[in-house]
Amino acid sequence: MQIHLKTLGCRLNEAEIESWGKKFQEKGHKIISNAENADILIINTCAVTQEAVKKSRQIIRRAHRSNPMAKIIVSGCYSTLDKKNIKEIPGIDLVIDNSEKDDLVNISLRKLNLKIMPSISTEPGEASIYKRGRNRAFIKIQDGCRHKCAFCIVTVARGNERSRNENEIINEINKYHQQGIKEIILTGVHVGGYGSDIKSSLFKLIKNILTETSIPRIRLASVEPWDLNDNFFSLFNNKRLMPHIHLPLQSGCDSVLKRMARRCKTLDFKKITDEVRTKIPNFNITTDIIVGFPGESNDEWKKSYKFIKETGFSHIHIFTYSERKGTAAASYANPISNNIKKERSKQLHDLTRNMREKILKNELGNIHSVLWESRDSNGKWYGYTENYLRSEMLNSALDLENQISKVKIIDFSHNFENCIVKPV
């Protein structure tokens, strides 16, 4: 059977479809990039915002229109949270709950009565995601979250925290490395909560990954600031752990953070960012901000904007607050109008561009290592530095894909989206 995998949303969803793809290949099935030629379409949905729900529904409908003969299997947060409405979308053959998605491959093959071929039909290493045009892998280390931030529907959709076995994670990383992967990203719903249910910790896991694997690059997905203990940043003394971290702030105003049920105040957040920037030069910090949370006054917004500007980030994921039924914030009074949300979002986008420009200008002349990922039709190669700055280099003569090379930052592209680099 030819299988096409589609996802939207978080890096955890990415990790899950990579895992499904590998398992389907081990059963003798083929993963293809063209949805129109697939026998089976698998869609991993998202529900973090109403816009994500809308996109999930659109993708399912589009998939059915483009390939009406294919079997469609749907999983993910949207399909888990809205079982009634998901079943009304035409073309869906099977819906698999988040609680069962780790066994999605076996459930799909069994319930749709699809032929299962023996594992021997697939040569060792054939399931490499690099053969699908990728040179980094998302590693799911845990699922679920024990915290209840007032705005978050994902904790409802994903359930309680469940950590993967450490040896299983390390074995998976080593297999990917053997297949040519040079960078892995540790991901989950609550990455910093890893080990809470198995008497371990994220610190211990990373330490053991650095000891028991030799993959060149290790990255972290989003980590909540309150999960970082005093010794955490000592891990970055090992240069294989990339000097970038995504720390969700959500608001730069303490009164808003309290209503959000966040566990970190702005003073604590600033202490973390100051510490890491002092200890590790050119350490890159990115964040999430929610604009227009219920009751966010003009004064609170000004405080938030000021704190964000003072802290400085190279990139911000800006979310316009979206009411999610089933969360505490859905019942909060004083909703913010769409016009105010749009205006504040625009202000934050403008600030983000200015902050990125300032941070990148400080990088001018610096030497970095870039993992090259792709080349465009004009001969420009694209990849990321250790501290996650997207870089471009004109070199049509060499095949740099999946290679790591030393470069010097010499300029920047329009709107400071990319660093322009040259070999050293």
User: Which position has the higher pLDDT, 134 or 284?
Assistant: 284
Class of domain 2-121: alpha beta
Confidence of residue 240 (pLDDT cuts 50, 70, 90): very high
- Separation in Å, CA 122 to CA 128, 129, 138, 182: 11, 14, 22, 23
Q: Would you say residue 74 has pLDDT above 50?
A: yes
Establish whether domains 2-121 and 134-242 are of one fold: no
CA angle in degrees (0–180, nearest 5) for 246-400-393: 70
CB 242 within 8 A of CB 219: yes
Q: What is the pLDDT of residues 33-54, one digit of tens each?
A: 889 999 999 999 999 989 999 9
Q: What is the Cα Rg of the chain in Å? A: 22
For residue 207, is pLDDT > 90? yes
Q: pTM for the complete prediction?
A: 0.88
Domain ranges of the chain: 2-121, 134-242, 249-362, 367-423
pLDDT mean across residues, the chain: 92
- Is CATH 3.40.50.300 correct for 134-242? no
Q: What is the DSSP letter of 241?
A: B
Bridging pattern class, strands 183-187 and 217-220: parallel
350, β-bridge pairs: none
Q: Per-residue pLDDT tens for 374-412? A: 999 999 999 999 999 999 999 878 899 999 999 999 999
Please, how many CA atoms are within 13 Å of residue 264, restricted to the half-sphere of its CB?
20
249-362 is a CATH 3.30.750.200 domain: yes
Average pLDDT over residues 244-271: 97
Helix (H, G, I), strand (E, B) or coil at 245: strand
| pLDDT for the residue 127 | 38
Q: What is the pLDDT of residue 384?
A: 97
Specify whether the CB–CB gap between 348 and 305 falls below 8 A. Answer: yes
Neighbouring C-alpha atoms within 13 Å toward the C-beta of 388 = 20
Q: Residue 116's pLDDT is what?
A: 52
Residues paired with residue 394 on neighbouring β-strands, in sequence order:
380
* DSSP for 322-355, written as a single string: ---TTSGGGG-SSPPPHHHHHHHHHHHHHHHHHH
Distance CA(91)–CA(365), nearest Å, equals 54
Fold of 367-423: OB fold (Dihydrolipoamide Acetyltransferase, E2P) (2.40.50)
**Whether pLDDT at 182 is above 90:** yes
Q: Is residue 196's pLDDT more than 70?
A: yes
Can you give 268-294 as a three-state secondary structure string? HHHHHHHHHHHHCCCCEEEEEEEECCC
Q: What pLDDT score was predicted for residue 115?
A: 59
DSSP state of 386: T
